Chain A
Amino acid sequence: MTEFSFISGFSGGTLIGLATVLMILGNGRITGISGIVGGVVNREKGQMSWRLIFIISLMVGGAIYPWLWRQEMVVDVSAHWSLYIIAGLLVGIGTRMGGGCTSGHGICGLARFSPRSLVATLTFIASAVVTHTLVRLVTA
Chain B
Amino acid sequence: MTDQVEQEVQVREGIPVANLLILVSSGILFGLGLSISEMVNPARVLGFLNILGPWDPTLAFVMAGALLVAIPGFQYARVMHKPFLAVSFNLPGKKDLDKKLITGAVVFGIGWGLAGICPGPGLVALNTWQTNVFVFVAAMLVGIWLHDRVLARFS
Contact of A88 with B35 at beta-carbon distance under 8 Å, contacts A75-B42, A77-B133, A83-B114 already known: no
**Nearest opposing residue in chain B for A15, CB measure:** B33
Interface string of A12-25 (1 = CB under 8 A from B): 11111111111111
The 6 A-B pairs at the shortest CB distance, nearest first, are namely: A92-B143, A61-B31, A98-B104, A127-B109, A57-B27, A13-B65
**What residues of chain B have their CB less than 8 Å away from a CB belonging to chain A?**
7-8, 10-11, 14-15, 18-20, 22-44, 46-47, 49-52, 54, 56-59, 61-78, 80, 82-86, 88-92, 94-97, 100-120, 122-128, 130-133, 135-149, 151-152
**Nearest opposing residue in chain A for B128, CB measure:** A75
Q: Are A57 and B24 in contact (CB under 8 A)?
A: yes
Q: Are B26 and A31 in contact (CB under 8 A)?
A: yes
Please measure, in the bound complex, the distance between the C-alpha atom of A115 and the C-alpha atom of B96, giving whole angstroms. Answer: 9
Q: Are A94 and B30 in contact (CB under 8 A)?
A: no
Q: Are A12 and B139 in contact (CB under 8 A)?
A: no
- Which of B23, B56, B139 has the most chain A CB atoms inside 10 A of its CB? B23
Which chain B residues lie closer than 8 Å to A79 at the CB level?
Answer: 115, 132
13 further A-B pairs in the complex, CB-CB below 8 A; given A13-B62, A110-B70: A6-B58, A9-B65, A27-B23, A27-B83, A58-B30, A77-B136, A87-B112, A90-B114, A95-B144, A97-B107, A102-B118, A128-B49, A132-B114
Q: Are A81 and B120 in contact (CB under 8 A)?
A: no
Main secondary structure of the interface of B (DSSP, over half): helix
Q: Are A16 and B133 in contact (CB under 8 A)?
A: no
Which chain B residues lie closer than 8 Å to A38 at the CB level?
Answer: 144, 148
Please measure, in the bound complex, the distance between the C-alpha atom of A130 and the C-alpha atom of B49, giving whole angstroms. Answer: 8
Q: Are B113 and A131 in contact (CB under 8 A)?
A: yes
Which chain A residues lie closer than 8 Å to B133 at the CB level?
Answer: 75, 77, 84
Which chain A residues lie closer than 8 Å to B43 at the CB level?
Answer: 2, 74, 76
Q: Are A76 and B36 in contact (CB under 8 A)?
A: no
Which chain A residues lie closer than 8 Å to B101 at the CB level?
Answer: 98-99, 116, 119-120, 123
Could you write out 7 A-B pairs with CB less than 8 Å apart?
Answer: A11-B37, A19-B26, A28-B89, A29-B86, A65-B32, A75-B133, A102-B118
Please measure, in the bound complex, the distance between the C-alpha atom of A77 and the C-alpha atom of B135, giving whole angstroms. Answer: 10
